[in-house]
């Protein structure tokens, strides 16, 4: 193996490891945002919002390195798929970070107003979405197609739970107009978590493409 090839493979592995680290930061931001909502912790919510700049910076760094490697090394076949999927995955991770930011912002909007109902299904959604993200990252790290496919199937359960949350909050809005504003905000939270699950599914689909070269779109 030539020194150039060895250095190139090291750079590829560093990109993969940094992408996983970015995913871990994003995963923690989801957890903190929902914890802030459940505990009415405005300081934690602000911390999540402030941390979004770190996620954005990680995205830019990874993208710049991928583009530089494509331009300088002119990779082909599997190497090119590694870099191409890296660019795609980092975009999904950045958008997940944006949704964590959005949830944290809602915590500040609700403020000290008492919650209209105990939070049960929204934390469940958050746990499921975090698990999906973690599994998709592990699938990427280990090139595990079966784990990636599991993530795609798990998305259906999050969709079902979102529909359940939406219907329940809608009944609160119809029964008491004074609860409309907060119920609407909680519906937004559930929607953001559903979208986080969608982006985690996207990551899993890119893993499948990375390994097989075939595009899979969840039906």
Residue range 110-169, pLDDT digits in tens: 998 999 988 999 999 999 999 999 999 999 999 999 999 999 999 999 999 999 999 999
Tell me the whole-structure pTM to 2 decimals.
Answer: 0.93
**178-190 as b/e, with b when 16 or more CB fall inside 10 Å?**
ebeebbebbbbbb
Q: Is the pLDDT of residue 34 over 70?
A: yes
Residue 90 CB partners (closer than 8 Å, separation 6+): 19, 22, 58, 59, 62, 63, 66
Query: Is there a domain that residue 217 lies in?
Result: no
3-class SS at 189? helix
What's the CA gap between 46 and 57, in Å, rounded? Answer: 18
Residue 218 maps to a domain: no
In the prediction, which pLDDT does 199 show? 97
CATH number at residue 149: 1.20.58.220
The predicted model gives 12-36 an average pLDDT of 95
Q: Of 6, 17, 25, 28, nearest to 142 (Cα)?
A: 17
The count of residues in the chain is 219
pLDDT band at 218 (very low <50, low <70, confident <90, very high): low
Query: What residues make up the domain containing 121?
Result: 3-212
In a domain, 12, yes or no: yes
Number of folded domains that form the chain:
1
């Amino acid at each position: 193996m030539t020194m150039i090839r060895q250095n190139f493979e090291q750079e590829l592995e560093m990109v993969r490891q940094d992408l996983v680290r970015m995913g871990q930061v994003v995963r923690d931001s989801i957890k903190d945002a929902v914890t802030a909502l459940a505990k009415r912790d405005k300081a934690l919510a602000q911390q999540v919002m402030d941390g979004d700049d770190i996620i954005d910076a990680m995205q830019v760094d990874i993208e710049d390195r991928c583009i530089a490697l494509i331009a300088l090394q002119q990779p082909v076949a599997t190497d090119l798929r590694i870099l191409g999927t890296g660019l795609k995955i980092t975009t999904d991770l950045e958008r997940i970070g944006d949704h964590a930011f959005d949830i944290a912002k809602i915590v500040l909007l609700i403020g000290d107003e008492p919650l209209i109902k105990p939070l049960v299904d929204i934390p469940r959604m958050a746990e499921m979405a975090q698990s999906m993200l973690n599994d998709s990252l592990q699938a990427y790290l280990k090139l595990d197609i079966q784990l990636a496919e599991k993530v795609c199937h798990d998305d259906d359960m999050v969709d079902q739970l979102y529909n359940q949350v939406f219907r329940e909050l809608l009944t609160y809005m119809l029964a008491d107009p004074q609860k409309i504003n907060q119920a609407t905000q909680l519906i937004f939270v559930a929607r953001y978590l559903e979208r986080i699950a969608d982006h985690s599914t996207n990551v899993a689909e890119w893993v499948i493409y990375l390994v097989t070269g075939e595009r899979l779109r969840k039906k």
